[in-house]
Structure 1
């Protein structure tokens, strides 16, 4: 039975432009908001009970990172967007989880959409959209569910490691994007290991009935990773070339480092893609070789019995002296021999994995 596919775009039909519609798969997710407010001398880590508490960070002299989990809470997302003067289309894009990674540059803020990739405990790839808004003294992040790849950034903020507490929100945006891109390396490495395991299984002839499905799943995973990584080059390129007032010149070099990482990841994904195509070719070749082996054995068996059958066809049972014809149990013995031959051949074919 074919798998029923959901259409995320169907919700937008007959809706006016800018309509805020949640298109994700977690309609019951609870709203969770945490915040970091800091400068080079202090840090305040908070868990906010309502979106209204996030409004106070807009005019502070410190740097604030407000992380909002639960895109299904559309009214709360809209409240935050209106307070921070986000365009209605931006608010709609935040709720629409099928967005392609992109960047939109406005006069007083920069909006970035990225995809967080990770493998679950069963090594199934998961994709979560994250939206980031860079303002004059804040960074807003919107996530579909609680849990992300930013724990290292949080630890650096708490311990004041590196430059993160001494530089502005543009560096915080860099740190968050860098954490997402760094996690792509783990995904790419896991993907490469899965491809190598399948390649080794094919090379050793260990073909199971699910192997073709595993190769197909790998192909789909590589395409998902590729669609998530490739647009980041355009995003970083626009940040470098736009010369926006929110991006300090001394921070540009850090974004260029992300660009180098994305190029490296893109090459790795392209290599994985080529390896999967090679796996498909190898799989078809292995199946063909296995079939050739089966046909060779069957051809040999047929070649042996064809002349015997030809001789039996000519002479039949036309002999005067056939002792077993007069034996009382000859008929039953003959049936027993034929059944044993049949069972023996079935067992042999199954042992050789021809059946």
Structure 2
């Protein structure tokens, strides 16, 4: 657990948690905690039992905001994409009048990148800290969306040029990730809408207007992932069409080869008949003449098919 006194964007480390119970003369306290630290924090800051239970739960938490006496409990999801799978990490926050407590189970990059912004903006209130942190989390969805779009474009190009069976697994896997993420974006958008529109006494009225920008970004993200969902459907159709075209090409080659060898089979069939009186059997060069005729016939038919673009 790390306790920081933030005054005009400047951080000061606090060793004793009891100092954070009372409001400072200037600034606010930021307590960056693990779930195990809630045992200590809950009685000191009178955190609601249900909110603490949500933080301790092993089940995946949906984004939400709960209004309790003296503090708000807010859950949003940070996102990460490693080119194979999308990961969402819950960021639990307790917003009080003079403090904000962030509780996470894994490391979240936004908690690190928010520090220089606090210093640059000379942040002196916990609600402004909340605004900048939520803004960073929402912006991270744009970067992940760009990487997903690049992956879809690369996959589409690869399918057109070199269709493989593994492409279908990639399409199904990525589409499942996008659909799963869409279910999360709805509640998260609702949380930001609440921060934007609802009368919340712990958030300054002037600051609430800035949450409207974050809400617009959240709407854009949701629409972007709607587009991704449709693109994945188109990509699956392109894969199936490519596989069908490839099968047609293979069948066309097999049909052409069968057609080429059919007259040769007829010729060999004729000379495989066991008749005594066959004039060609007495020719000195009959065998070579027949082989040459078969070769010329096969090559001639091959070039004929190529000219007609059947091969």
Q: Which runs of no fewer than 5 residues in structure 2 stay unpaired?
A: 283-311
Shift of 1:42: 5.1
Shift of 1:308: 5.1
After TM superposition, the structure 1 = structure 2 runs for residues 86-105 of structure 1, keeping only pairs within 5 Å, are 86-96=47-57, 97-105=59-67
Contact 2:76 2:90 in 1 (8 A): yes
Shift of 1:270: 1.1
Contact 2:8 2:122 in 1 (8 A): no
Name the counterpart of 2:19. Answer: 56
Shift of 1:274: 1.1
Deviations 1:11-34 (A, max 9, x none): xxxxxxxxxxxxxxxxxxxxxx22
> What SS class does the counterpart of residue 224 from structure 2 fall into?
helix
After TM superposition, the structure 1 = structure 2 runs for residues 1-355 of structure 1, keeping only pairs within 5 Å, are 33-40=1-8, 43-45=11-13, 53-61=16-24, 62-69=27-34, 71=35, 73=36, 76-96=37-57, 97-120=59-82, 123-157=84-118, 160-165=119-124, 168-203=125-160, 205-306=161-262, 309=265, 316-320=272-276
Shift of 1:176: 1.1
TM-score normalised per structure 1: 0.71
1:202 and 1:94, CA in 2 relative to 1: closer, same or farther beyond 3 A? same
Moved over 4 A (4+): 306-316, 321-324
Q: Distance in 1 between matches of 2:114 and 2:281?
A: 93
Contact 1:222 1:272 in 2 (8 A): yes
| Greater RCO (Cα-Cα under 8 Å, separation 6 or more) | 2
Name the counterpart of 1:17. Answer: none
Q: Which runs of no fewer than 5 residues in structure 1 stay unpaired?
A: 1-32, 325-355
Shift of 1:144: 0.7
> What SS class does the counterpart of residue 149 from structure 1 fall into?
helix
- Give the number of the structure whose residues are more often helix, by fraction: 2
Larger radius of gyration: 2
Q: Select between 133-142 and 227-236 the one with higher mean Cα deviation.
A: 227-236
Q: Distance in 2 between matches of 1:55 and 1:92?
A: 23
Shift of 1:68: 1.2
1:183 and 1:126, CA in 2 relative to 1: closer, same or farther beyond 3 A? same
TM-score normalised per structure 2: 0.80
1:147 and 1:231, CA in 2 relative to 1: closer, same or farther beyond 3 A? closer
Contact 2:42 2:52 in 1 (8 A): yes
